[in-house]
Amino acid sequence: MPRVVNRWGRPAAAPLAVWLALVMLGAAVLLWQQERSRDAVAGRFDHGVATLGDFMTGVATDVLVRQRVQARASLSDPVVQSRDFTRAVAGFGYPSAVLLDARGRVLQTYPADPGMIGQDLGARYEHLRSALRGQPAVSGVVPNAADSVPSVAFAVPFETTSGRRVFSGAIPIRASPLASYFTSALSLDGARVRLDDPSGKIVATTEQFTTGAPTLAGQDAPLAAALRHHPDGRYRAGDGWWRYASVAVQGTPWRMSATVREDVLFASLRDNELAGRAALGGAAIVGLAVVAAAGRARAGRRDLLLSERRFRKVFDGSRIGMVLADLNGRCVRVNPAAGQLFGAAGEDLLGRSLEDFTHPDDAGLTPSRMRACLTGRLDGFDVDKRYVRTDGEVVEASITSALLRDEDDRPLYFATQIIDVSERNALERERDRNEAELAQRAEQLQEANTHLADVMAMLSHDVRQPLAKIVGLGELLLEEWAGLPEHARTHDVRRMTVAGHRANDLVTDILMLAQFDAGVMLARPVRLDVSHAAREAVAAHHISAGSPVSVIAPDETTGLADPGQLQLILGNLLTNASKYGRPPIEVTVTNTGDMVAIRVADHGEGVPPEFVPHLFDRFTRAGSGVATTTAGTGLGLYLVRQLAQAGGLDVAYEPNHPHGAVFTLTVPRASPGSRLRAPEPDKVSPRG
């Protein structure tokens, strides 16, 4: 039986598809029509709620207008007596009311409460504040001023010869006549209509109150949650779906919402919906019988065409290059995808060997495997190789080839699938490059974190030390100033000054380091007298450090450098010589071809040989010699090297014989001219 079904079932696929499409179309039309009918009913429900909301807006507006006219007519006397106020409130029909003056103080109350006369109610109620500003207002649910019963109030201002007054009448929500306006507005079983204020407290409802101060969330939590997302729609509560709509009551803080079960709302449509579904089911059964008959009729024709059609569809329609080759590797049949891969029409490839397109570096990969298949050692093979298209483009390909045999197991053809993997391999290579770059960035980030830790360590130690000295000496001077001799005071002040200069130098180095790291240290080279610059640096060093330095320099030597950066470099080199070396300290300026060399030499113990490779690194200090007993940050020579490179200069170290250290700064020479000449734009370094 399954074989018979299979024989005529496949030819019936097209009629079955048509039947299925018609059934789905009919179902879609039926559902669309039913949905339109439901939307129309829901629309009428929403329109009814909107109309009721407009009606409630009119009711509230009418109450305020009527109340204002009556209040102006009956409560405008300069002095309103309690009996007159009671008579006026009875005409309004309010269970309780108050009369306020222009400052919000109580003039009269109903029921009469002498204790409230003179109290400022305007500060307690928002609707009264609005009325005092001249705007009629309706309140949300508020506690009654007299007995704290939850109520809603209508407040109107009116002008009298004694100034503005405000009349406000309150209605307890349990005795509110508002519900009578909409209890019969929606003629649907189980329909619920509610008024609530912005805080969610119910003003009026068609239901029985369950608490003294009911809230929408307490009465119907699913509806309250749905209203927070959309003013109308549907929600699920209990065992069914509910339709709801809401509208703001204009001129009041109230929102009116109505909800009804959908099975009640759409009850009038139920019979029509069932009839439509039954009709669709009957039509579907009849159509299925027609499809079965068509399948049996086409079964005979299908067997003749199925095999050829399947092969043609798979072979010609495949996006993978497919080739049938004879036992010598010559193409017998080529699909369009293979022709596109080799850049030639399929018929142009017939009779040619795929080895004709193989990249010279990959020649011989395929023939050896084909011979292994012909000898029976392999049934097929996979290989990755490159081809050269007719236009010269190199294609990276993944090849899968299998040997096809006849019923006597004799080889017939090689069936080869060729997949162009050029893009995939390029993406993998790009991914490898990105991973390498990411690793490099991570290493740079780690290095930056290390540098940051070094800066924090220096701030916590080297900067704090001079500041602590300044603070300590300052406190000592403040406490013992009168008892200290003059020379002791002067000595302590000088120590504070030295510590201050030390802290200032450290801050300068840190700021300069930050400029280098941010890439904003710019060099502005100008033509200047290098000898003069060297003498200025020595003079400044002598003033700050006091140690003598000799200068040997021609009268005028022209070079190209940033004057400020050159002074910083020379100042750091002189400070380094004074701190770690010993006199005499000598500065020599000489012309050396296209460069001007500034040589700073001292006669100290020199730099330990093992530390020379790290001499210009940041935060590095020698682990032996005078460096271990001298305070320092390890930034001076690093900043010298960075400043030199930023300005197109160079700095180098060599030992001084017989002992000491020599630092040589080389400055590019410039043609003679004014040494204060402005820098040329094309000579400015892009970054420091």
Amino acid, single-letter form, for residue 491: H
As a whole number of angstroms, the distance between CA 196 and CA 575 comes to 82
Evaluate whether residue 56 is within a structural domain: no
List the helix and strand counts (H, then E) for the chain: 17, 23
* pLDDT (0 to 100) of residue 512: 63
For residue 609, pLDDT beyond 90:
no
Question: pLDDT at position 687, please?
Answer: 29
pLDDT band (50, 70, 90) for residue 631: low
**Which CATH number do you get for residue 672?**
3.30.565.10
Question: Average pLDDT of 128-136?
Answer: 91
Q: Are residues 505 and 524 in the same domain?
A: no
Q: Is the peptide bond preceding residue 584 cis, with omega within 30 degrees of 0? A: yes
Mean pLDDT over 429-437 rounds to 87
Higher local confidence (pLDDT), 339 or 460 = 339
Number of domains observed in the structure of the chain: 4
Does 579 fall in a domain? Answer: yes
Asked if pLDDT for residue 619 goes beyond 80, the answer is no
Please tell me whether the overall predicted TM-score, pTM, comes out greater than 0.85 for this model. Answer: no
Which of 186-195, 487-496, 616-625 has the least mean pLDDT?
616-625
CA 358 to chain CA centroid, nearest Å: 49
The answer to whether residues 403 and 465 belong to one domain is: no
Residue 338 has pLDDT above 90, yes or no: no
pLDDT, tens only, 160-213: 988 999 999 988 887 677 766 666 556 677 788 888 888 888 888 877 777 777
Query: What is the pLDDT confidence band of residue 159, given thresholds at 50, 70 and 90?
Result: very high
Same domain, 542 and 674: yes
Q: Is the pLDDT at 688 greater than 50, yes or no?
A: no
- Reported as a single tens digit per residue, the pLDDT across 370-398 is 888 888 888 888 888 888 888 888 888 88
- Using CA atoms in the order 222, 227, 228, 233, what is the torsion angle rounded to 10 degrees? 100
Is residue 349 one of the residues assigned to a domain? yes
From 175, 201, 228, give the residue that closes a domain. 175
Question: For position 84, what pLDDT does the model report?
Answer: 85
Does residue 121 form part of some domain? yes
Give a yes or no: residue 43 inside a domain: no
The SS3 assignment for 298 reads: helix
Tell me, what's the pLDDT at 678?
41
Whether pLDDT at 32 is above 50: yes
Is residue 147 domain-shared with residue 161, that is, in the same domain? yes
Inside any domain, residue 599: yes
Provide the CATH number for the domain around residue 439: 1.10.287
Q: What is the pLDDT of residue 164?
A: 92
CB-CB contact of 520 with 685 (8 Å): no
For residue 448, the model assigns a pLDDT of 60
Comparing 14 with 93, which gets the higher pLDDT? 93
CB-based contacts of 601, cutoff 8 Å, min separation 6: 577, 585, 586, 587, 588, 656, 660, 661, 662, 663
Mark whether 554 and 665 lie in a shared domain: yes
**Residue 640 vs residue 625, higher pLDDT:** 640
Stated as kind and residue range, the H or E segment containing 260 is strand 255-261
Residue 325 contacts residue 356 (beta carbons within 8 Å):
no
> HSE on the CB side for 408, CA within 13 Å?
2
- In this structure, the answer to whether residues 430 and 369 fall within a common structural domain is no
Amino acid at 456: M
Rounded-to-integer distance, Cα 206 and Cα 331, Å: 87
* Separation of alpha carbons 628 and 622, rounded Å: 7
**What's the whole-number average pLDDT of the chain?**
79
Over residues 67-80, mean pLDDT? 89
Most confident of 280-289, 373-382, 494-503: 373-382
Same domain, 342 and 442: no
Q: What is the mean pLDDT of residues 12-40?
A: 82
Check whether residue 168 and residue 135 sit in a common domain: yes
Please give the pLDDT value at position 381. 84
Calculate the alpha carbon distances from 212 to 97, 181, 215 in Å. Answer: 21, 22, 10
For residue 672, what pLDDT band results from cuts at 50, 70 and 90?
A: very low
Question: Do 589 and 549 share a structural domain?
Answer: yes
Instruction: Output DSSP code: residue 329.
Output: S
The residue with greater pLDDT, 607 or 503, is 607
Q: How far is 537 from 600, CA to CA, in rounded Å?
A: 12
Q: What percent of the chain has pLDDT over 70?
A: 80
Q: Are residues 501 and 609 in the same domain?
A: no
CB 299 within 8 A of CB 11: yes
2 part of a folded domain: no
Q: Can you tell me the distance from the alpha carbon of 522 to that of 684, in angstroms, rounded to the nearest whole number?
A: 8
Q: Which of 400, 420, 440 is the last residue of a domain?
A: 420
In this structure, the answer to whether residues 524 and 658 fall within a common structural domain is yes
CA atoms within 13 A on the CB side of 309: 6
pLDDT higher than threshold 90 for residue 435: no
- Boundaries of domain holding 598: 520-683
- Fill in the DSSP letter of residue 105: B
Indicate which CATH number applies to the domain containing 99: 3.30.450.20
Mean pLDDT calculated for residue range 82-91 = 87
- Summarize pLDDT for 414-431 with one digit per residue, the tens: 888 888 888 888 888 888
Looking at residue 157, what is its pLDDT?
Answer: 94
Q: Where do we find the tokens 């002189």? A: 574
CB 212, CB 284: distance < 8 Å: no
Q: Hey, is 479 helix, strand or coil?
A: helix
* End-of-domain residue from the set 155, 175, 195: 175
Q: What percent of the chain has a predicted confidence (pLDDT) above 90?
A: 7
The confidence score (pLDDT) of residue 138 equals 92
**339 and 456: one domain?**
no
- Bond into 658 cis (ω within 30): yes
Statement: residue 407 has pLDDT above 60: yes
Give the per-residue pLDDT at 509.
61
Mean pLDDT value across residues 120-145 = 88
Q: Is 407 helix (H, G, I), strand (E, B) or coil?
A: coil
Task: Determine, yes or no, domain membership for 407.
Answer: yes
pLDDT tops 90 at residue 136: yes
